[in-house]
Structure 1
Amino acid sequence: MSNLVQTSEQSETQNIPQLTLWRMITGGQIAQAVHAAVQLNIPDLLIDGPKSAEELAQQSGTHAQTLYRLLRALASLGLFLEDDQQRFRLTDASQMLRSDVPQSLRPLILLCHTSAHWNAWGDFTNSVRTGENSFQHLYKQQYWAYLDTHPDEQKLCYEALSGLSVGEVEAIFNAYDFSPYHNIVDVAGGWGKLLTLILQAHPTTHGILFDLPFVAEKAAAQIQATEIGERCQVVGGDMFKSVPTGGDLYMTKTVIHDWDDAHALTLLRNCRSAMKPGAKLLLIELVLLPGNVPDIGKFMDLFLLAVIGGQERTADEFQRLVEEAGLVFERVIPTGPILPTQSGIAIIECSKRPDDI
């Protein structure tokens, strides 16, 4: 028996490269299987407890035996748990795919499996050959312009971004002292979750939430209904033309990574033009881990290349951009990784020189 065990262990060790490659090659199949389960609302159907494939098939309008095969495969990965009565229940992972949880990843997986996303990835080799954004190459427009004419996907995109943002906002708030500032300008601030949290904690601070007009219109309705409504002005506009003046602190959260260096420099220079001498600018972004360190952010960088047309950056790359825009690169403040193998959201603190008038 010991010889058999030893032979098995040796075989498994020898096959590690093949197993690693197999997981890489079949990763798309796993993603499609997860997407199917979410599309069929299986996580929501299991909220009230374990169910058999037959029960779930009746509720989801699917073929029971085929649904069982899907759930069995996903249970082998830990997404569901199958008991000895062939009933399935939620795990910690699938809880995050429910539609009713604050940080639900349901919108993200639905977004990533739209035909536009898959088509962009299908053209990815061309991006590597040319450096051109796959989406732009296929659709002859930027992803954000495409969303303007596809409202269902646009809604899904903002829901996905909102879900990802929930855990980040508190970490950012806890990592930085916002108390010295009197007027904070949140550039491309979306629904204003971070700015709202800051203003709620600092009753004498005022804020300006700045984003595209259609985003600003929706955000204004939400913010005006809260206790910070009188202290928060919501402004619509184009950050590549100008940003509001008058702030002693400017911030952008996961905005720079959506753009190439040329657009990023335009935005940074517009912020610099609006800033008072000595004012601060916070770039809140993923900062890539160095070298061969495993890092989900490095694959987020490829997603940005394929779909959005932006890129994730290292601390050195951020410093180069900031200094080229005429600002002072002060420091990088980590907020901690969301996952053990993910570059965490960091706060890159910059400033406008006191003599820069």
Structure 2
Amino acid sequence: MTAVVNDATEKMDLRAELIVRIGGYMTAHSIGVAAELGIADLIKDGVRGSDELAAESGTHEPSLRRLLRTLTAVGLTTEPEPGRFALTDVGAQLRSDSPDSLRAFSRMFCHPILLRAWQGLGHSVTTGERAFDHVYGTDFYSYVAEQGDANRLFNEAMSEESRIAAGQLAAGHDFSEAKKVIDLGGGDGTLLAAILSGRPQLRGVVFDSASGVAEAPATLEKAGVADRCEVRAGDFFQDIPMDGDLYIIKSVFQDWNDEDSLALLRSCRSQMPDSATLLIVGSVLPETASTDQPIMFFTDLNMLVNTGGRERTEAEFRAMLEETGFTVRSVRLGAAGPLSIIEAAPAAAGR
């Protein structure tokens, strides 16, 4: 009898695990709505009643309470007494005033634009094509660039995502031999601002598309490095700044398929000085999947759906770099927060 009960309990636990995973989209919607409403900003460091939060957010109190209880169930809030809620350390990242804020990131990745594209995952898996193009009739970056509010939100989300890795890279890499750093695909300049801060000998260039660098001047000005950093708009598949001695490409290759990634590396190899160094900062997949680091596998699938890109293993990065005329000097896994750093050089200089 005990064996039967234990077997039934195990089956129920396994069933519950699967159902929780099936309900992942419900978690995402719950977080997205909470982020959009600014609930974490209203709770802040205290314990607030759902009636107070509803009045301040302009929401229906019984329904907001149900949302907050669900957020408690997934670990973003606690309910120390009935109807009163506080933030957990995880939930506190939804505060817009937190230095570790992921509020914009949460809003962007729970945005209807991305959620609708993800409904086309089956199309991507079946055909290998980008679901985003299938759903919207154009590519992700062209579409978002034309959506004013969404484009600003996307840039802010990427800035938030970069913050931890930027700090880790700025603190953990030796920049003593560099004079001019070129950040290819540098977006709003968060990474380069972190690198230049406290290093008065360094100069830099943030290079990205016109929409990508739109917020960069403000970021650099706020960091106090605008006088040492240029902002240039362009297409890194065609022309890149040729006057750097250290080139950084962070979280870019994941956006592109192998053909485009090779084209980008060839563009770099043909235009960067032979004496320069290339740093690739991004996720490096293990050779076999496990439950240890699910985020990079989510990212890999997100690239399949939205951009047609992919995450890669160390062996795949090494093969691409060798094919395009680079020599890998080192691979430091997890050296930039959750991201890794691959250091390479033009082959002649890497010998």
Global fold match (TM > 0.5): yes
Write the deviation string for residues 287-325 of structure 1: whole angstroms up to 9, x where unpaired: 113313222201110011112221111111111211222
Equivalent position of 2:346 in the other structure: 352
1:79 positional shift: 1.4
- The 5-angstrom pairing of residues 262-301 of structure 1 reads 262-294=259-291, 295=293, 296-301=295-300
Cα pair 1:171 1:335 within 8 Å, conserved: no
- Provide the secondary structure at the position in 2 that maps to 1:328: strand
Equivalent position of 1:239 in the other structure: 236
Equivalent position of 1:56 in the other structure: 53
1:285 positional shift: 0.8
In structure 2, what is the Cα distance between the partners aligned to 1:185 and 1:249? 6
In structure 2, what is the Cα distance between the partners aligned to 1:78 and 1:355? 50
| Alignment of 1:201 onto 2:195 | no
Cα pair 1:175 1:335 within 8 Å, conserved: no
In structure 1, what is the Cα distance between the partners aligned to 2:223 and 2:83? 48
1:224 positional shift: 5.4
1:240 positional shift: 1.3
Write the deviation string for residues 307-357 of structure 1: whole angstroms up to 9, x where unpaired: 22211111111112112222212221124585xxxxx3011111102379x
In structure 2, what is the Cα distance between the partners aligned to 1:258 and 1:46? 36
Equivalent position of 1:324 in the other structure: 323
Q: In structure 2, list runs of 5 or more residues that go unmatched.
A: none
Cα pair 2:166 2:195 within 8 Å, conserved: no
- Which of 185, 188, 193 is 2:185 aligned to? 188
In structure 2, what is the Cα distance between the partners aligned to 1:152 and 1:329? 40
Write the deviation string for residues 249-287 of structure 1: whole angstroms up to 9, x where unpaired: 111111111111111111111111112223211111111
Letter in 2 for 1:260: N
1:222 positional shift: 4.5
| Alignment of 1:251 onto 2:252 | no
Cα pair 1:142 1:309 within 8 Å, conserved: no
Cα pair 1:278 1:353 within 8 Å, conserved: no
The change in CA–CA distance for 1:101 and 1:205 in structure 2 (over 3 A counts) is same
In structure 1, what is the Cα distance between the partners aligned to 2:82 and 2:26? 27
| Alignment of 1:115 onto 2:112 | yes
Cα pair 2:328 2:343 within 8 Å, conserved: yes
Q: Stretches of 4+ moved more than 6 A in 1?
A: none
- Which of 25, 29, 36 is 2:26 aligned to? 29
Q: Quote the sequence identity (%).
A: 35
Cα pair 2:242 2:271 within 8 Å, conserved: yes
Cα pair 1:175 1:333 within 8 Å, conserved: no
The change in CA–CA distance for 1:230 and 1:43 in structure 2 (over 3 A counts) is closer
Equivalent position of 1:66 in the other structure: 63
Letter in 1 for 2:94: L
Cα pair 2:183 2:206 within 8 Å, conserved: yes
The change in CA–CA distance for 1:19 and 1:283 in structure 2 (over 3 A counts) is same
Most deviating of 11-20 and 289-298: 11-20
In structure 1, what is the Cα distance between the partners aligned to 2:208 and 2:347? 26
Write the deviation string for residues 4-62 of structure 1: whole angstroms up to 9, x where unpaired: 8x876554333343222112211111222222222332211111522222222222222
- Provide the secondary structure at the position in 1 that maps to 2:138: coil
The change in CA–CA distance for 1:220 and 1:316 in structure 2 (over 3 A counts) is same
Equivalent position of 1:219 in the other structure: 216
Most deviating of 152-161 and 71-80: 71-80
Q: In structure 1, list runs of 5 or more residues that go unmatched.
A: 339-343
- Which of 11, 16, 31 is 1:14 aligned to? 11
1:227 positional shift: 4.7
Letter in 1 for 2:314: A
Most deviating of 42-51 and 251-260: 42-51
The change in CA–CA distance for 1:177 and 1:117 in structure 2 (over 3 A counts) is same
Aligned residue pair count: 348
Letter in 1 for 2:315: D
Root-mean-square deviation over aligned CA pairs? 2.3
- Which of 175, 179, 182 is 1:178 aligned to? 175
1:76 positional shift: 2.1
Cα pair 2:130 2:304 within 8 Å, conserved: yes
Equivalent position of 1:81 in the other structure: 78
| Alignment of 1:165 onto 2:159 | no
In structure 2, what is the Cα distance between the partners aligned to 1:216 and 1:266? 22
Most deviating of 302-311 and 201-210: 201-210
Cα pair 1:265 1:321 within 8 Å, conserved: yes
Letter in 1 for 2:232: V
The change in CA–CA distance for 1:195 and 1:42 in structure 2 (over 3 A counts) is closer
Cα pair 2:189 2:213 within 8 Å, conserved: no
The change in CA–CA distance for 1:229 and 1:100 in structure 2 (over 3 A counts) is closer
